A and B are shown apart, each in its own frame.
Chain A
């Protein structure tokens, strides 16, 4: 990742295009990740609660804790790399903007809180289902927005 910071973009159009390419891929990854989580956990609060806690009336078992923990474990890994790449390129391209610092903070905080909230929500803390939704969706949208601004600056500069 060091090259993302040190290599001079003015003398390497290839690096600029590569950075645009990875940002485009991560933009779609984040979009698809929201859809994937909707399939795995549910697309609204009711179905997410059913997945986490089960439903005795409909004889639906709650998700196994091991399965949820594995999801959180791999989510943290994937988000770390995704966010690290998007944030590194964004800082490089928009380092003079005041908002940059806060957007990067927001991206990392949302990305970390979302999986942890899911674990807390499993321990019957239903309010954390709402907090998970309030961190997961805006976090992904923020990541997609920053990836898009990276592409815009790299391709249409």
Chain B
């Protein structure tokens, strides 16, 4: 970062906030899939074999705010890479575009289940896991650039 020491404070806190937002978001998703105890493995198995049925209305109700929120959150976090002197702009560009695409896939993954294109919930778990992994990696890149 370029001689903007005080700005490190909001950026560092932003990383913590984003982790908290991701954690509560995943918790909400697991609750909607029937998570009732600390048995995470059985909940994931349940999602894999018989994901909770959702109507198109339920999907749009969840997808609409998430398209906005995930888009803006990725934009705000990723744009701090413009200040980075340690990671190349080209790499940041490709990484951010990939994250945007994975986020859109993650939000729309349930459509495949709703329309019966896939019976198993693996598509949702894989896209969620990939999104989480890439977003945490982006947070790590911003933290490394501080």
Contacts and interface: CB of A to CB of B under 8 A. Distances in A.
Interface in A51-82: 65-66, 69-70, 72-74, 76-77, 79-81
B13 A112 contact: yes
B9 A108 contact: yes
B9 A101 contact: yes
B102 to A, nearest CB: 19
B129 interface: no
A73 B9 contact: no
A141 interface: no
A5 B7 contact: yes
Contacts of A84: 10, 14, 76
Contact of A91 (B6, B24, B31, B82): B6
B54 interface: no
A150 to B, nearest CB: 14
A5 B7 CA distance: 9
A22 to B, nearest CB: 14
A89 B32 CA distance: 39
B21 A1 contact: no
Interface of B: 4, 6-7, 9-10, 13-14, 16-18, 20-21, 24-25, 27-28, 31-32, 65, 69, 72-73, 76, 79, 82-83
Interface of A: 1-2, 5, 65-66, 69-70, 72-74, 76-77, 79-81, 83-84, 87-88, 91, 95, 100-101, 104-105, 108, 111-112, 115-116
